[in-house]
């Protein structure tokens, strides 16, 4: 390393390659050599880059902290409404689960991105319409269209959050890719906070039990529930003020899980053939199959979003391409099973919703796969893959609107 650094003191590109090959060794050797080679502007730059003092965690501005505190309190109040107003918990949570977090996250990004009053008002009106619609939905909790609306409404709220995150139009798709990356970072940070919070909660309950006070029920129903609801808001605040906290973790997770998911999926498909399971006549198996499809799609999207902002790995690209091909095969089986069930037993709200979702996912997957192979053949940049994913966000939004609002009318709220 010492010889290579000395022989490339004026070659910025080669120094960067050496640094990326072994960052710790590069820094150690560079700092040893620095007193001898400091009379060089490029070396001065590298010295500042490698040894710039870390300012630690930035806790944001006073306005940020006030907003997060207020949003956490509002979330706590909303999640406790059934207890405060004697509401039916099943009715409330099944219909309003998406409103616990998404509206306040949307308000946070609308505020940070300085969205115009007109757009902010439009967002507020849409959120209000969604809230009134789902809570005034006629019929009982056994209604298929109610279940579909309750499932697809959080997706719509998530896409409204995307609009606030982007700040309006995004013709290039860069901000949409950033939104997908934010979701990956949010999952990582939220998971870490939940782990630490769970550990602290266990210690707290245990300590009080040692002195004869059983606080478990009170703690879980009040502090635990409110803290869990506020976690995505706190996680978003930490990500936005300290992006370095998870910027190194997310790509590692993506690179580790992509090959593992590929191996698991191939093994699973082989096991399906061996076991003789029939998704065409087994409704529960078909539902699990579609759940698997959505999970694998999430892994692909997350991996591509992270790879778009990091160094491209050819092996990683091949893994994603193979994973996309296998997922297309899974989608094809699921889609054919749905079509078979429709031809045998006719259209129902559930079958129609699953059919539409599978068609959209298949189209998106094919687009992503084409771009992946273009990147592998050096005919496109990795950013094109991220854009192929990002450009479908409005399409999913339109489908969520159709299922949430139009399906109940088409199927008579049954």
Distance CA 299, CA 366 (A): 16
Q: Are 354 and 317 in contact (CB under 8 A)?
A: no
Per-residue pLDDT reduced to its tens digit, 42-66: 888 888 878 776 656 667 788 888 9
* The pLDDT value given to residue 172: 62
3-state SS class at 223: helix
**Mean residue pLDDT across the chain:** 83
In a domain, 189, yes or no: no
pLDDT at 313: 67
Are the beta carbons of 141 and 354 closer than 8 angstroms? no
As a whole number, mean pLDDT of residues 9-16 equals 84
Looking at residue 190, what is its pLDDT?
92
**What is the pLDDT, as a whole number, of residue 279?**
67
For the segment 326-346, the average pLDDT, to the nearest whole number, is: 85
User: Residue 285 — very low, low, confident or very high, per pLDDT cuts 50/70/90?
Assistant: low
Task: State residue 50's pLDDT score.
Answer: 81
The pLDDT value recorded for residue 388 is: 80
Q: Measured in Å, how far apart are the chain's first and last C-alpha atoms? A: 70
Q: 3-class DSSP state for residue 245?
A: helix
- Angle 47-50-56 (CA atoms, 0-180°, nearest 5)? 130
Domain assignment present for 116: no
Domain boundary among 51, 74, 89: 51
Q: Please tell me whether residue 57 adopts helix, strand or coil conformation.
A: coil
How far apart CA 151 and CA 163 sit, in angstroms, is 20
pTM (2 d.p.): 0.81
Higher pLDDT, 247 or 27: 27
Domain end among 14, 33, 51: 51
Contact predicate 3/33, CB 8 Å? no
Range of the domain at 258: 250-390
Higher pLDDT, 26 or 107: 107
pLDDT digits (tens, 9 = 90+) for 365-400: 888 888 888 888 888 777 777 778 778 888 999 999
pLDDT band at 308 (very low <50, low <70, confident <90, very high): low
Q: Around Cβ 387, how many Cβ atoms within 10 Å?
A: 21
Is 22 domain-assigned? yes
Residue 278 has pLDDT above 70, yes or no: no
- Pick the range with the lowest mean pLDDT from 9-18, 150-159, 208-217, 359-368: 9-18
d(CA 300, CA 385): 11
Between CA 290 and CA 331 the distance in angstroms is 8
Q: What is the mean pLDDT of residues 76-82?
A: 92
Q: How confident is the model at residue 260 (pLDDT cuts 50, 70, 90)?
A: confident
Q: Mean per-residue pLDDT for 243-266?
A: 76
Whole-angstrom Cα distance, residue 155 to residue 172?
23
Number of domains in the chain: 2
DSSP conformation class of 53? P
Joined together, the tokens standing for residue 285 give: 């198996």
The answer as to whether 23 is a domain residue is yes
What is the chain's Cα-based Rg?
25
pLDDT tens column, 123-160: 999 999 999 999 998 866 678 899 899 999 999 999 99
CA distance 235 to 233: 5
Helix (H, G, I), strand (E, B) or coil at 59: coil
**For position 303, what pLDDT does the model report?**
73
What is the rounded distance in angstroms from the CA atom of residue 89 to the CA atom of residue 257? 36
Give the residue, 104 or 284, on which the prediction is more confident: 104
Q: Please give the pLDDT value at position 108.
A: 92
Place of tokens 């207890």: 83
Spatial neighbors of 14 by CB under 8 A, at least 6 apart, are 4, 8
What is the predicted pLDDT for the residue at 195? 93
Q: Is residue 350 part of a domain?
A: yes
Q: What is the pLDDT of residue 47?
A: 83
Q: Which two tokens stand for residue 41?
A: 């502007």
The answer to the question of residue 334 being in a domain is yes
pLDDT at 277: 67
Is residue 168 assigned to a domain? no
Q: Is residue 157 part of a domain?
A: no
Asked if residue 330 lies in contact with residue 293, where contact means CB atoms within 8 angstroms, the answer is yes
Q: How far apart are CA 21 and CA 393, in angstroms?
A: 36
Position 82 scores a pLDDT of 92
Contacts of 70 (CB under 8 A, 6+ apart): none
């Amino acid at each position: 390393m010492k010889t290579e650094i000395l022989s490339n003191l004026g070659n910025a590109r080669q120094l960067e390659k050496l640094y990326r090959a072994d960052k710790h060794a590069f820094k150690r050797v560079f700092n040893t050599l620095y007193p001898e080679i400091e009379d060089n502007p490029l070396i001065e730059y590298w010295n500042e880059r490698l040894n710039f003092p870390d300012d630690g965690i930035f806790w944001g501005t006073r306005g940020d902290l006030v907003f997060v505190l207020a949003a956490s309190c509002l979330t706590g109040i909303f999640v406790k409404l059934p207890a405060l107003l004697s509401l039916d918990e099943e009715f409330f949570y099944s219909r309003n689960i998406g409103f616990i977090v998404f509206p306040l996250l949307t308000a946070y990004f609308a505020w940070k991105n300085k969205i115009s009053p007109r757009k902010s008002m439009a967002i507020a009106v849409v959120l209000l319409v969604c809230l009134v619609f789902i809570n005034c939905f006629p019929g009982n909790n056994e209604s298929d269209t109610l279940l579909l609306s309750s499932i697809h409404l959080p997706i719509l709220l998530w896409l409204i959050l995307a609009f606030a995150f982007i700040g309006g139009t995004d013709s290039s798709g860069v901000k949409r890719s950033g939104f997908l990356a934010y979701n990956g970072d949010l999952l990582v940070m939220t998971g870490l906070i939940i782990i630490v919070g769970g550990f602290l909660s266990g210690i707290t309950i245990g300590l009080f039990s040692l002195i004869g006070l059983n606080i478990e029920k009170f703690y879980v129903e009040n502090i635990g529930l409110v803290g869990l609801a506020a976690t995505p808001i706190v996680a978003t605040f930490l990500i936005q003020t300290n992006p370095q906290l998870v910027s190194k973790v997310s790509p590692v997770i993506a690179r580790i899980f992509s090959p593992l998911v590929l191996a698991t999926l191939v093994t699973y498909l082989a096991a399906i053939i061996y076991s003789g399971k029939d998704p065409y006549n087994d409704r529960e198996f078909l539902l699990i199959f579609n759940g698997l499809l959505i999970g694998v799609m999430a892994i692909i999207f997350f991996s591509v979003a992270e790879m778009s902002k990091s160094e491209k790995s050819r092996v990683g690209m091949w893994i994603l391409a193979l994973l996309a091909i296998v997922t297309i095969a899974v989608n094809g089986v699921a889609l054919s099973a749905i079509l078979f069930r429709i031809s045998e037993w006719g259209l129902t709200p559930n079958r129609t919703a699953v059919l539409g979702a599978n068609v959209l996912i298949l189209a998106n997957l094919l687009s992503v796969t084409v771009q992946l192979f273009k990147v592998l053949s050096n005919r496109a940049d990795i950013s094109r893959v991220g854009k192929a994913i990002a450009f479908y966000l409005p399409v999913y939004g339109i489908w969520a609107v159709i299922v949430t609002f139009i399906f109940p009318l088409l199927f008579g709220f049954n």
